[in-house]
Structure 1
Amino acid sequence: MSNFLVSSFSLSSAPRSAVFRIQDELRNAQKEVTTGRFADVGLTLGSRTNQTVSLRVERESAIRIQEANTLIGQRFDTMQTALESIAKTGENLLASLISNGPADAGISASVQQAKAGLQQFMGAINAASGSRFLFSGAATDQPALAFTKVGGGVASSYEDNSTAKKAVNDALTAAAPASAADLEAFLDGAFNDLFKVPEPSDGTGWDMWSKADPSPVVNRISDSETLDVSYPASDEAFRNIVKAYVMISDLGAKTMDEEQRQLLTSRAVETLSLGLSQLTEIRAEIGGKQSRLEITNETLGTRKNVLTMSISSFEDVDAYEASTRVTTLTNLLEASYALTARISRLSIMNYL
């Protein structure tokens, strides 16, 4: 016959151990009710954990690309707003040039309108999204248009004693067109050269207006797609619009004879019309990219949802079962507390 020694300590310790175990299980069950996921996914799934890790990595990639695409979409929206304002201002001047003609009163009004249009253009083309300038090409840290003062330093605008304005004045003085034929030769030659992009860059021509980098700025919008989001100020559309403004505002239209004014007005209308047409092409191209971006984001959203469902099929718990388990464990814990309290009051001394 075997003898078993039973002490008050062993009797009271056993329920306490059970309480600790139940408390641990209850914490896990409550966590599952709150999160909807297994308390310890790795422990529950075992070797299948790698599958959920891969699914989560793929979903995070889709989310990051979607967030980046949202920023690209905002960039395009701001660009479209700026381009729309440039187009409206240009169209207004074009209408005025056609309706006013080369008469004294008409040309005076056109000169003032061209000066204002040039100022508006410079403000719009220097549009930024956050700290990044939108029309500077790859050089997003600097304005699309920026001027240097004659003698050095930064000019606040074209009119602020800039090297660009001086170059126009110097070219006009050197040509001194005395007739319509002379003016036409000047417009096709020295004046036109002022709006060309020098290759390589040498500080002449359009370099006096802009330091925009024409290199493509390519963003990945999905695992297999990329998008060039760059439209630098060196684009021909912008240069033609500026050229038309300067043609009217800075070539002394008020002092020209009627034949020269007629030629100047005609060439300004031609140049501005071309620039606005090219601008429309840019806006349409950006619109196409906006549509493409929207479709890609919808696809990414669908993919993200599918991945989320796949992850849930592995990691999610049955809400009803988890809730029932919490209730059961809570009742069991309360019973354990009561039993522990009763046992703690027992003493062998009571039976001696």
Structure 2
Amino acid sequence: MKTSFISNIAIQSAMRLTISTSQNEVQNLQKEIVTGRYADIGVALGAGASRSVALNRDLLRLDNIKDSNALATQRLSASQGAMTLMADNAQSMLEAFITVTSTDDAGRLGIAKRDVQTALEAFTGAINTSSNGEYVFSGINTDARPLANYFDPASPAQAAFDSTFQSHFGFAKTDPLVSGITPAQMEDFITNTLEPSFTGTDWTTNWSSASDTNVTSRITRNDLIESTTNANTAGMRSFALAAVIGLELLGMPLASDTRAVVNTKAMEYAGAAVSGIDNERSRLGLSEARVAKANVSLEAQIKIVQLHVNSLEEVDAYEASTRMNSLLAQVETSYKLTSRIQQLSLSNYL
């Protein structure tokens, strides 16, 4: 018969290892109970972990698109609010021109000029609206203020008008010779000289710092929309042109028939401003509707992907709790056994 030597130190070491392993498993089970997910997806799913990673990546992408849509919705909402104010002021300006049709009364012309100035100031404030630190009417130049203040003493737009007027007629706008401008000359100036100065490089140099390219937003995996408009659209330029005609030309000491031409052209451009701004409001309204539909679709996709993720990663909280209680009991028993083994000593029996 052969006997083997077993020390109590060896037994204690084995018990400590058992306790350490059980404690780690208890920590993992506690995490699973709290989160409802496997503590270690790789260990729990094995080869299936790659599918879990792919699904979570899809879920993250969908959540990012949804967050981006929230920003796009903010931009669209800010743009719509500002354009509502612009359209209202364009209409007010048009009504001001209508009230002075066929009149040379200085008082009424002064009131109309004041109304036009108020409308242009409100328009400038609205078009320089920002959302989340970005100008919404600057196109992709979101850090640039889209429209210069015409009433600034150093305004390049005002200096450009004065220069254009003098170059065309050969005298300044304050010269008494303005009273001799004929209807044909005034119409030629407005149509062939002034209007072109509100397009192309003249417009972007003297008035606008906006880009013609609008901000685009991805609202689903495959759909892009323009989530802004810009200060270079026809309606915005028509507003500025109508306002300048009202401010600079309508109150000049002109002949009645020449002033009638000025007023007619001012109403024409103010009407174009109203319709142009409304067109942009409608276009952005379609974008808002597409974002709303996209969000409904994203919510459905997120729920479906989340269900698949849950089916892979979710644990049975009741089972995990039962296992944890069992392990805790084993750990407690191991503690007691280890304590008793430590008390085993030959000296206790001598």
User: Which residue number corresponds to residue 98 of structure 1?
Assistant: 98
Letter in 1 for 2:272: L
1:173-252 equivalences in 2 (<5 Å) = 173=166, 174-175=168-169, 176=178, 178-197=181-200, 201=201, 204-252=202-250
Please state if 1:137 is matched with 2:139: yes
The residue aligned with 1:253 is 251
2 CA distance for matches of 1:11 and 1:349?
19
Asked if the contact 2:217/2:226 (under 8 Å) is kept, the reply is: yes
The residue identity in structure 2 corresponding to 1:188 is T
Q: Which amino acid aligns with 2:218?
A: R
Range that drifts further, 112-121 or 252-261: 252-261
Q: Please give the alpha-carbon distance, in whole angstroms, between the structure 1 residues aligned to 2:198 and 2:11.
A: 98
**Contact residue 235 and residue 273 of structure 2 kept, 8 A:** yes
Letter in 2 for 1:168: F
User: One-letter code of the match for 1:13?
Assistant: S
Cross-structure match for 1:22: 22
Amino acid at match of 1:273: G
Larger mean Cα displacement after TM superposition, 8-17 or 76-85: 8-17
Q: Does 1:69 align with 2:72?
A: no
Alignment pair present for 1:40 and 2:31 = no
Once residues 68 and 2 of structure 2 are traced to their aligned partners in structure 1, the CA distance between those partners, rounded to angstroms, is 76
One-letter amino acid matched to 2:138: S
Moved more, 230-239 or 124-133: 124-133
- Name the SS for the 2:198 alignment partner: coil
Contact in 1 for aligned 2:96/2:116 (Cα 8 Å): no
Confirm or deny: 8 A CA contact 1:164 1:209 kept in the other structure.
yes
Which residue among 115, 118, 130 is the counterpart of 1:116?
118
Q: CA deviation at 1:335?
A: 1.8
TM score, norm. by length of structure 2: 0.89
CA spacing shift, 1:54–1:317, aligned 2, 3 Å: same
Cα separation, 2, equivalents of 1:83 and 1:216: 16
- Summarize deviations over 1:228-264 as a string: whole Å, max 9, x none: 2342211111011111111111115252233333332
Equivalences, count: 338
CA RMSD of aligned residues (A): 2.0
Alignment of 1:248-287 (within 5 A): 248-287=246-285
- Output the CA distance in 2 between the equivalents of 1:240 and 1:275: 5
8 Å Cα contact 2:38-2:313 kept in structure 1: yes
Which blocks of at least 5 consecutive residues in structure 2 are unaligned? 170-177
**TM-score, structure 1 as length reference:** 0.89
Q: How does 1:152-191 map to 2 (within 5 A)?
A: 157-173=150-166, 174-175=168-169, 176=178, 178-191=181-194
Distance 2:154 2:12 in 1: 95
What CA deviation, in whole Å up to 9, does each residue of 1:56-101 have, x standing for no partner?
Answer: 1111111111111211111111111111111112222222332344
| Structure 2 partner of 1:125 | 127
Contact conserved, 1:37 with 1:317, CA < 8 A, in 2? yes
**Superposed displacement of residue 205, structure 1:** 4.7
